[in-house]
């Protein structure tokens, strides 16, 4: 196994790596820096797009481009021009803010909602679903800080975290309707020294999660038992995604400055890749709208 720091833009708040097989690029966001980056690991070339406010999620569309969540709501994004099209606004001030999302095989966008009260976090976030026709449905509530949405390979199980309580939950998922049920604790990362942030599931069903503040990537079996732990060079690891031509490279975003007075580390905010894991990921689905 080898961990490499890549020559890609360093972020104030690196998040949401997303492999784009059609372009051969890794898209990732700098939420605090208000940017979307697109990095080509073969050439080292990077394109960067400025956003008008904090950007918290990026997923790809079947017809090209992306869907992003900003503080203002959900937008379509042209990855070449940076043009945004608002499709579902949030009020000002928002009752919650979107954070982290993924697409199911039917092209639905499941998005976490986090509390908008960062000074005194309350469980007023939740889980939402954007259907291809533009309708937004709330699926769950009682979430402080949403993270880690992803599915088991058969899509019968949906994973979703409340980072404030250090816990990833598992739900039963109905792929026919896009409904969730039977929420139960899946894993708690407190023993690893941090909280669950961005996550993905590999082709064998292992759940890989960035342990923010713990400086680790953890892989869990479907029964919740710990399979392996990777120690990263920095503590504020934020999200993970498999990519590369064979989907066997694990890209890892990190954050430069935390909100709890954490000391700044060398390499914090950089993009890393882990090679030689002996596992493969799966292509992320694209939004059908």
Catalytic residue among 20, 104, 166, 197: 197
Distance CA 233, CA 5 (A): 9
Which of 60, 35, 65, 58 is CA-nearest to residue 48? 35
Q: How many CB atoms lie within 10 A of CB 241?
A: 24
The DSSP secondary-structure symbol of 1 reads: -
For the chain, how big is the Rg over CA atoms in Å?
A: 17
Cα 155 to chain centroid, rounded: 17
Mean pLDDT, range 90-112, rounded to an integer: 95
Higher pLDDT, 258 or 252: 252
Q: Is 174 a catalytic residue?
A: no
* pTM value surpassing 0.85: yes
Tell me the CB-side half-sphere exposure of residue 285, using CA atoms within 13 A. 21
Residue 108, token pair as written in the block: 């639905």
Sign of CA dihedral 137, 140, 146, 150: negative
Distance CA 288, CA 39 (A): 24
Model confidence over 171-223: pLDDT tens digits? Answer: 999 999 999 999 999 999 999 999 999 999 999 999 999 999 999 999 999 99
């Amino acid at each position: 196994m080898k961990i490499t720091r890549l020559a890609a833009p360093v972020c104030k708040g690196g998040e949401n790596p997303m492999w784009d097989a059609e372009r051969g690029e890794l898209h990732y966001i700098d939420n605090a820096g208000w940017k979307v980056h697109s990095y080509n690991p073969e050439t080292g070339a990077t394109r960067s797009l400025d956003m008008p406010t904090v950007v918290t999620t990026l997923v790809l569309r079947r017809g090209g481009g992306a869907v992003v969540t900003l503080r203002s709501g959900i937008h379509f994004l042209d990855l070449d021009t940076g043009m945004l099209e608002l499709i579902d606004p949030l009020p000002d001030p928002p009752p919650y803010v979107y954070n982290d999302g993924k697409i199911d095989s039917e092209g639905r966008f499941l998005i976490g909602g986090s509390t908008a009260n960062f000074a005194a976090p309350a469980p007023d976030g939740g889980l939402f679903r954007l259907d291809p026709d533009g309708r937004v449905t709330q699926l769950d509530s009682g979430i402080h800080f949403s993270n880690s949405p992803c599915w088991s390979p058969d899509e019968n199980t949906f994973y979703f975290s409340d980072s404030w309580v250090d816990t990833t939950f598992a739900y039963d998922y109905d792929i026919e309707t896009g409904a969730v049920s039977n929420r139960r604790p899946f894993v708690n990362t407190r023993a690893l020294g941090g909280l669950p942030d961005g996550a993905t599931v590999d082709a064998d069903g292992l759940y890989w999660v960035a342990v923010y503040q713990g400086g680790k990537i953890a892989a869990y079996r479907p029964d919740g038992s710990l399979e392996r732990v990777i120690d990263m060079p920095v503590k504020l690891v934020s999200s993970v995604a498999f990519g590369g031509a064979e989907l066997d490279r694990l890209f890892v975003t990190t954050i430069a400055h935390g909100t709890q007075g954490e000391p700044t580390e060398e390499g914090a905010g950089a993009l890393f890749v882990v090679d030689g894991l002996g596992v493969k990921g799966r292509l992320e689905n694209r939004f059908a709208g």
